[in-house]
Structure formats: structure tokens, C-alpha cells
Structure 1
Amino acid sequence: MGKRHQIYLPDNRIYSCSTCHSHLLSHSSVVSRAFQGRHGSAYLVGHVVNVAIGVKEERMLLTGMHTVADISCSVCGTRIGWKYLHALEESQKYKESKYIVEKAKIAKEVIWDS
């Protein structure tokens, strides 16, 4: 099995995997900064790259029951969060097809303008 092709984001404000520094998301894809992950604060994100999506499962989260799948860096395998596949409650439907990315698992990369 060969090395996987990585996607590099053209933005200068990106977040990368804290383990291998592979690009994961652009700052502009962050929908909300007010979420909670397994290891503390997290972002709700609309688009990620260089991730592998795991097996879907039902999980009871702070906001109710959701169908989710863990996401991992496709380069090094570090688990960085999860993808919302289905929300049972109508008020939580906006999360479907979005991702939770844990702040503890990512790093700011390249040059960030103030």
C-alpha cells in the first residue's frame, strides 16, 4: 500500500494535525467555537481534508442521541474528533454532515495575520 495523497489548503490561516502537521481545515470553515469534545474545547467545522472517517455508531452526547463516526488524520491516524451523520432531535439537525474537531488535537499552521 502506497502513501496517501495529501491535500494542502491554500489559505494562510489553517489548522493542522498536532502530531504530523498535515493540513486539516481552514479557519474560514469553522462554524462555531463553542463546542465540547472528548478532551475539552472543540470547533464545529463545515469542511475538513486529510481525514479518514470511521465506523458509524449511536452516541449519547451532551445535546442528545446522535449517529456519529470518529474522524482521524489520514496521515498519522490521530483521532481528532467526529462527524455528525444524523441527529434525532429537530433542534440538532444543523449539525448533520458537519465535524467536531478537538482543539487539543490541532495546531495553528503557517502565518496567521493578527
Structure 2
Amino acid sequence: MGEGKTLPTYFCRNCENPLALGEDLISKKFVGASGPAFMFSHAMNVVIGPKIERKLITGSYVVADVMCGNCGETLGWKYVETFHLRQRYKEGMFVIEKLKLTKKL
């Protein structure tokens, strides 16, 4: 295997479109609409929806829904803006529901 080349490890469960690299996984302790969710610093092959204000467990945020760029499945959301200083680290991060993912090594 070539140096410096990382293969995608998280894929859309629906169509196997590559979505995120294992090295971009920040946390497995988030909750989405369908249960457990993962936070990633980056996501690929996704479509970002319009910005909307949404009330989540830890407060109000401006978020954008994230859909698979191949099959259109809604995967989770991207944090666009937070209103609380303690939550600012979430801005720009992606939350993808565990049930929407499959992992390949």
C-alpha cells in the first residue's frame, strides 16, 4: 500500500458511496434521529442542504442536512453556526447517523 494514501472507511449503507475517512472520526457519542451518531471533521461525496435553525439536545444551532451525493439518502447534518461559546468546536463538523453507515477496512 502506498504511503500517504488513506482509503475511505465509512460508506453509505444504502449505496456504498464513500463518505468519510476513519482518521476524520472525532466522536462516537452523538445522537441522531435514529439513535447513535458519529461526528466527523470532514465528509466526502455528500450534498449539503440549505441552512436552518434547529433545536438539538445541547441547544439551538444553525445546521444543514447532509445527504449522500449518490443515492440522496439523508445521513445527518453539518453544524454551520453555534450560539454558545462552549459548543463552538462543533462548527463545520458533520454528524452522520450510525444506522446510515457501513464500515470497511
Is TM-score (shorter-chain normalized) higher than 0.5? yes
| Other-structure match for 1:49 | 44
What TM-score does the superposition give when structure 2 sets the normalisation length? 0.92
What TM-score does the superposition give when structure 1 sets the normalisation length? 0.85
| Structure 1 gap segments, 5+ residues each | 1-9
| Deviation >4 Å, runs of 4+ | none
| Other-structure match for 1:5 | none
| Structure 2 gap segments, 5+ residues each | none
One-letter code of the match for 2:29? A
3-state SS of 2:15 partner: coil
Q: What is the percent sequence identity of the aligned residues? A: 38
3-state SS of 1:28 partner: helix
**In the aligned structure 2, how far is the partner of 1:44 from the partner of 1:76?**
21
| Other-structure match for 2:72 | 77
**In the aligned structure 2, how far is the partner of 1:47 from the partner of 1:55?**
18
2:88 is matched with which residue: 82, 86, 93?
93
| Other-structure match for 2:35 | 40
| Other-structure match for 1:15 | 10
* 2:9 maps to 1:29: no
For residues 60-93 of structure 1, what are the alpha-carbon distances to aligned partners after superposition, in whole Å with 9 as ceiling and x for unaligned?
0000000000000010000000000000011100
Contact preservation (8 Å) 2:8, 2:18: no
* 2:57 maps to 1:62: yes
**In the aligned structure 2, how far is the partner of 1:86 from the partner of 1:25?**
21
Contact preservation (8 Å) 2:64, 2:79: yes
Alpha-carbon offset, residue 12 of structure 1:
4.2
Q: How much is the aligned-residue C-alpha RMSD, in angstroms?
A: 1.1
For residues 39-64 of structure 1, what are the alpha-carbon distances to aligned partners after superposition, in whole Å with 9 as ceiling and x for unaligned?
10011110110000001100000000
* 2:100 maps to 1:108: no
| Other-structure match for 1:7 | none
> Structure 1 pair 13/54, CA: closer, same or farther in 2 (3 Å)?
closer
